[in-house]
Every structure is written in C-alpha cells, then in structure tokens.
Amino acid sequence: MIITLQNQVSNEARNQLEALLGQVTGNLKRTVSTMMDEREVIVLDGSRLDKQALATISQQDAVERVVEVKTQYQLVSRAFKDERSRIEIGDAENGQPIIIGGSNATPVVIAGPCAVEGREQLLSTATAVKAAGAQILRGGAFKPRTSPYQFQGLGIEGLHYLKEARELTGLPVITEVMEPEMVEVVAEYANILQIGSRNMQNFPLLYAAGRNSFHRPVMLKRGLSATIEEWLLAAEYIVSAGNPYVILCERGIRSFDTQTRNLLDLSCVPLLHELTHLPVVVDPSHGTGRRELVPTMSRAGIAAGADGLILEVHPDPNSALCDGRQSITPDQLKSVVREAQLMNTLMERVAEHTHVA
Ligand code: PEP
Ligand code: MN
C-alpha cells in the first residue's frame, strides 16, 4: 500500500498518521518513507489490512491518496505509476542528456569492453564506440569473476581511464560496483552504476546504491536464476531507499542447454512493461555468450520493446581478458547500431498501424 502525503503536512497531522499506522500494522511490519516524483510517500505491506483500516488511513489530514498495490513490489509497479519512467543520463557539461525509457524515446545503445584492460584499449575502444553511433560507454573496472584466478579488473585505475574516455568522447559511462563501501567512489566517476547479476540480491549493496549521494541511476542486471518478481523486488530496494532511477537489464538466465551461455528471456521485456514503469535494457552479449548471435538478438530485443541494448565490444575479441567469445568488433557494432535504428523505425510504424487498426 502506498500513501502519498499532502504537499504541506503539519507535524500534528503527521504524528497522527504515524500513530495510526503503528496501530494498524503492528511492530513487525516495516514502513518506509521516501520521495517519489517529488512527493513524500509511505509504503507498507497492506495485504492484511481490512477495509475499515484503509478508510481510516485515507481520511487522515496528512494523506492525499492511498493506492492499494496487489503485488509485493510497489513503487516500481505500474499499478502505482502508469506513466513509463524516463531516466536522464549525463549532464549539461556534456551537452544534451541521453534519455532511457519513457513512452517514445529512441532505444539507446550502450557499448564497450567487458573489462577495462588498460588505457590504450579503453580509449581506442571508446573512440570506436562513439564513431559507431553508440551513446553510452560501458567497461568494468571491478569484475565479478567466477574463478579467483581470473583477471579481476583494474579497480580504481580503471575508473580513471573511464573518466578520461568520457572526457575524450563525451560519452557518459557505466561501470559495475560490487560492494556497498565502494558505491560513493564509483558514483564519483560513473554516470550509471551497474549492479551485476551475481549481486542482484546483495541487499546492503542495493540500499547503498539507492542512497548514493550523486543520485546516479542504477542498472540492475537480472540474477542468474532470478524470477521476475525477485528482480522487481530487488529494484524496489533501490527505489524505496530513495533512488527512483533504476534501469532493468535482461542478460539471460540459466538453462539446461550448454549451446548458449544463458537463455535470453526476451518475453520478459513486454511483460516487464506491463508490470513496471522502469526502463528495460537487453544484453545479448551475456544473454547468448556467442558473438555471432549478438546482431540478431539485438534486433529481436528492439522488436520486443527494449529501451536499449548493452553490448560488449573489443578491438580484438580473441585477445580480450574477459568475455571475448561474446564480444563484437567496432565494425560489427556499427551495423548493430544501424539495424537497431531501422528496427526502431519499423516498430514505430507497427505501433501506428496498430493504433489506426
Ligand atoms: C558484465 O556486464 O560484464 C557482467 C559481469 O554482467 P553480468 O552481471 O550480467 O554477468
Ligand atoms: Mn562481461
């Protein structure tokens, strides 16, 4: 249940509301108070409240409206906010902000190496990514690797190169943060914080990203075998901690088949647009694990309604320190960007047609 408070609330009215909520919810349930679209909201699990309690809450002086949300995830649900969220990336320094999400934004392309391997590799890839028409640069400085003996990323040094790449190309950057204590440091450098699949349910990390003092948007990747509900509840942690700027990223889930690295669940894209107002980005690189499948699944992602793509690109994929098998070259990226634009134009025509019919 989400209670939106009046714009101006007296202390008396607020205390009265809080006392009432304490009474009806008991001490065991958690009540969260946060800001959403510049309004203060109080969120709680209202599933056990009876009609009488609901009516009493709605009549409080402090209350503007009460929305009963039937799902466990609430602030991220379309039942609460029907209009799709638009997230602005970048700042005035770098010209026009890039928009992810909303009802008629062009899908964005985020591209770059899996890992920042060194200054030259990153700067040359960034230049090529920009020339290919992508709008945001990706690159991991802190890498969550399956084996402790694999390359773990350059850490802070990698963040410096990302900053330099942004200054060189004007592209905003996204990079992964793996631990709560590092959120502020990474947020100082990155325009978007990435929370990886392996950390989708790292709740202290979700809270820290939700509270980052730079107000950086967060791209939350789907857990290796997370249900859509678990994923939306993970997003709810970030939003309820005060950061409404969350982008969901479908990057494939575990399956029994070993032919592809993961199973790219494109059906989740239109489904998520039904369930949540948050933007949805598709990652065909991790979703397939094979570079030859990336162009087709990129087109398919746009056709499914994705608000953007995130792609791994390397100047020499065979020598990449991480995820070379699924990395495309800058030349291939150029075609993917072009095809994504064509696909989007086609999708707009399909939407017009559906509208007319
Ligand atoms: C990545 O984007 O390089 C990455 C590690 O992704 P995921 O968390 O989806 O495995
Ligand atoms: Mn990777």
204-222: average pLDDT: 98
Instruction: Please give the Cα distance from 36 to 33 (Å, whole number).
Output: 10
Q: Which two tokens stand for residue 66?
A: 């009460």
Amino acid 327 reads S
Across the chain, what does the average pLDDT equal? 95
Q: How far apart are CA 304 and CA 270, in angstroms?
A: 6
Ligand 1 atom nearest to 194, measured from its CA: 2
Length of the chain: 357
Residues that place a CB less than 5 A from ion ligand 2: 114, 323
Tell me which residue has its CA closest to atom 4 in ligand 1. Answer: 196
Q: Is the pLDDT of residue 28 over 70?
A: no
- Is the pLDDT confidence value at 183 over 60? yes
d(Cα 337, Cα 15) in Å, to the nearest integer? 54
Residue 136's H or E segment, with its range, is strand 136-138
Nearest to 281 by CA among 300, 253, 309: 309
Task: Determine if ligand 1 sits within 6 Å of the CB of residue 284.
Answer: no
C-alpha 289 to ligand 1 mean position (Å): 11
The neighbouring-strand residues paired with 77 are 276
CA 277/CA 319 separation, integer angstroms: 40
Reported as a single tens digit per residue, the pLDDT across 82-118 is: 999 999 998 655 578 999 999 988 999 999 999 999 9
* CB of 14 shorter than 6 A to ligand 1: no
Strand ranges of the sheet holding 2-5, from the earlier edge strand across to the other edge: 32-36, 39-43, 2-5, 63-67
**How much of the chain, in percent, has pLDDT values that exceed 90?**
90
Q: Report the C-alpha gap between 288 and 274 in whole angstroms.
A: 25
Are residues 310 and 121 in contact, defined by beta-carbon separation less than 8 angstroms?
Answer: no
Question: Taking a C-beta distance cutoff of 8 angstroms, is the pair 311, 114 a contact?
Answer: no
Distance 330 CA to ligand 2 centre (A): 16
Ligand nearest to the CA of 326: 2
pLDDT of residue 14: 95
Question: What separation in Å is there between the alpha carbon of 174 and the centre of ligand 2?
Answer: 13
Asked whether residue 136 carries a pLDDT value surpassing 90, the answer given is yes
**Given ligand 1 and candidates 176, 199, 321, 322, which is best to mutate, with the most ligand atoms within 8 Å of its CB?**
176
